[in-house]
Amino acid sequence: MVTDTAPPAGPLPPEPDPGRRERLVEVVVPVYNEAHVLEASIIRLNAYLARTFPYSFRVTIADNASTDATWSVARRLEAELPHVRAVRLDRKGRGRALRHVWSGSDADVVAYMDVDLSTDLDAFLPLVAPLISGHSDLAIGSRLSRGSAVVRGPKRELISRCYNLLLRTALAARFTDAQCGFKAARTEIVQALLPSVEDEEWFFDTELLLLAERNGLRIHEVPVDWVDDPDSRVDVLRTAMDDLRGMARVGRRMLTGAFRAPVGGRPRPELPTGMARQLPSFAVIGVISTLAQLVLFVLLRTVTGPFAANALSLVITAIGNTAANRRFTFGVTGSQGAFRQQVEGGVAFLLGLVLSTGGLALLHVLAPDVSRAVEVTALVVANGVATLVRFLLMRAWIFHPRRLRVSIDESGGQD
């Protein structure tokens, strides 16, 4: 049974100022089975905004298919607090909840924050002010920029930094923190972007930011103070795999020119000649190689240590990866130059070994008792960075067209 909780003691929020500029900001709090924290968090958020926020506001609790008492708590808060409303979806997914509320919002600015309120609320006005003024199109809280203050464990710190590094290296993202649950956007902009965003879960806001950047929109970043929620129930391995699949899907859409939305801005420059044809093949081969390497790593890990298992699994898959890319990505057939290209592919393999082994070593230094699932997650992220570097080496060195022409001329043609 859920009991009422009295608001915290203190002065009552002031009455709305009749001269206040009438701009409406809607804050969405997506929840799933959060009955134990929902009431305290919403009361705190509502009181803070009523006391300090200079614009009209609405707090929307978006319950995506909770199975506990979350919905009844949300309905009671809606009845008791004039600025709070509640909506319920019959399917899970943070992205699905945000899409549902944002797409129908009549506010000038829409935002969202996690129900645990891990981010200091003093950053909220700096987050939305550039959107209301029209200076920026989207705004994000960043735990990784200078001026932020973050309290969290080494495991989550490492995973977050690796994920954002992978976004910057593989998809040329310029924002620093895709995962902080503290974001806002001009409503007209986000409603134009939403039809082109496919994800409905955790990758939703990363995809939204990548789409905005790809279409030349301005993203404002605010350093935030953030304290990790020890009660977080996020499945790290599943979320990491979903994010990697989302990145691969977005990468394919970028290559085909389909990652577009009907908004203003200056589009990002297109890829160099030939890369649009090569990258999809390389990505498919990379996914197959990564999965094969992970399977081998898990099997070998039962009989040897993590570093030996990683090295052996990489050696086996690197040979097949180089051969497959030689044939399908760069269109090289016959035996001419194959040995040299495998040797040079071994150099790229060594880079991957250094990155992945270094990542595992750092992980074990920061968290000596780390689980097997987190080991695999760190390996996936490190290999993602190594894969991008390997592609650039293959394109600019191993299978560079000039070198291939020299080999053909020296042999009098390929076999």
The candidate with the shortest Cα–Cα distance to 151, out of 230, 221, 222, 205, is 230
**Alpha carbon of 291 to those of 49, 160, 223: distances in Å?**
47, 22, 36
Q: How far is CA 370 from CA 233, 235, 358, 359, in A?
A: 17, 15, 15, 13
Strand pairing category for 56-64 and 84-89: parallel
Structure tokens at 366: 């920061």
Give the number of C-alpha atoms closer than 13 A to the C-alpha of residue 407, restricted to the C-beta side. 19
How far is 343 from 117, CA to CA, in rounded Å? 52
Catalytic member of 177, 199, 205, 243: 205
Could you give the CA distance from residue 65 to residue 90 in angstroms, rounded to a whole number?
5
Q: In what order do the strands lie in the sheet with 84-89?
A: 84-89, 56-64, 24-31, 109-113, 182-186, 138-142, 219-223
**DSSP 3-state of 213:** helix
Residue 369 a catalytic site member:
no
Half-sphere exposure of 45 (CA within 13 A, CB side): 28
Q: Which residues are catalytic?
A: 205
